[in-house]
Homo-oligomer: A and B are copies of this chain.
């Protein structure tokens, strides 16, 4: 029951103390990530821990996330990685044709996300705080240069792990009726949206920091009002994927 309580209290942490993660804990975090399920046991995920201050600063600029603040937290870049598999094929002069597909990319992204979430859940179970940093995708080409990413790799997100200095309130999720259906997809109705907007408007107005007059649907509209990371396809093509 304790794990369940921890999980439903999840919030992203953006402010960390100076407490270092022990070597043992760092080891466990990586093992937890590696123990996640992997499609056909391909293990299409690599981690790059960024400790170099210059690289952290550069990533902070790209991601607009203060990765440099938590100097004693660990910062892992989770890379969807089919480069290892390409090497296996190339060593025997085999084609990478079936590796460079959308399906393979999905496999690698899913493997990567499963590994990260195992790390995240384990981290929170030992009272660490975590934050996913999708902002690294703001400049995929610079991330590639910074981390020397080879063909058939795609940096999906960062995961910052450290001891939380403060935690935000838990955000109210979509109601279960809106996300869980039985046997058939049920559309999200205007009434469900109106109800949820009411819940989220109250949440954003009443939370203790960063109060805003907004709602979930307003956030969604703003999110999709502009082009976001529109060179993703170009990047993935240069990395060897075919669309």
Contacts and interface: CB of A to CB of B under 8 A. Distances in A.
B121 A174 contact: no
Interface in A85-116: 85, 87-89, 91-92, 94, 96-99, 101-104, 106-107, 109-110, 113-114, 116
| Number of copies of chain A assembled together | 2
A211 interface: no
Contact of A114 (B37, B106, B113): B113
Interface in A146-165: 147-150, 153, 156-157
A187 B150 contact: yes
A48 interface: yes
Contact of A229 (B103, B122, B156, B190): B103
Contact of A98 (B101, B156, B157, B228): B228
A113 B117 contact: yes
Contact of A179 (B47, B156, B220): B47
Contacts of A103: 137, 228-230, 232
A36 interface: yes
A183 B56 CA distance: 9
A179 B7 contact: no
Contact of A117 (B36, B48, B97, B149): B36
20 contacts: A3-B125, A8-B31, A30-B180, A41-B216, A48-B180, A55-B183, A87-B188, A89-B221, A101-B232, A102-B232, A102-B236, A104-B228, A109-B113, A121-B121, A147-B183, A147-B185, A148-B185, A149-B185, A153-B185, A243-B243
Q: Which 3 A-B pairs have the closest CB atoms?
A: A113-B113, A117-B117, A103-B229
